Amino acid sequence: MVDWLPAVVLFGVMGWILTAIPNAIRRYKVAQLQSELQTKLIDKFTSGAELATYMQSDAGRKFVDALTFEATSPVDRILGALQVGLVLMAAGGALIYSSYKLPETDIMVLGPLSLCVGAAFILSAAVSYVFSKSAGLLDRLTDQR
């Protein structure tokens, strides 16, 4: 094997973490701003009848649709599980390889564990794909586009 593989996997995992943290912060701030805006909009209505009339209009329906917080599609969830599985499997392979180069360390335990968890994520993505396909969820997504 090559000596640079663990370094590449380490930098890959670090890069993934460095993109996941700002993404989570951004999503939190967007949700917070949406919540404040929606609260201010609802406070503008003086009666329940006025609010009900608004909710039945096109703008009201769009408002209700916006209340659902970023519903992820099955494809997004499947690809996310696949991505995590591949990263974990690569990290597990690098740890196993490193344990042969550094036999006095205890990282041999982490390698197979990471490899198995990564394989479980990939299996989960495959099962989710089969269930989503059989339920017609993937067909509905292509019809919407």
pTM (two decimals): 0.54
- Cβ distance 89 to 114 under 8 Å? yes
Query: What are the CB-based long-range contacts (under 8 Å, 24+) for 96-104?
Result: 97/1, 97/5, 97/6, 98/6, 101/3
Q: How many CA atoms lie within 13 A of 135 on its CB side?
A: 9
What's the whole-number mean pLDDT along residues 49-71? 76
Distance CA 96, CA 118 (A): 14
> What is the per-residue pLDDT for 60?
80
Q: Pick the residue with more confidence: 139 or 117?
A: 117
Q: What is the pLDDT of residues 4-17, one digit of tens each?
A: 667 777 877 888 88
CA–CA dist 7, 15 (Å, integer): 12
Eight-class DSSP state of 109:
T
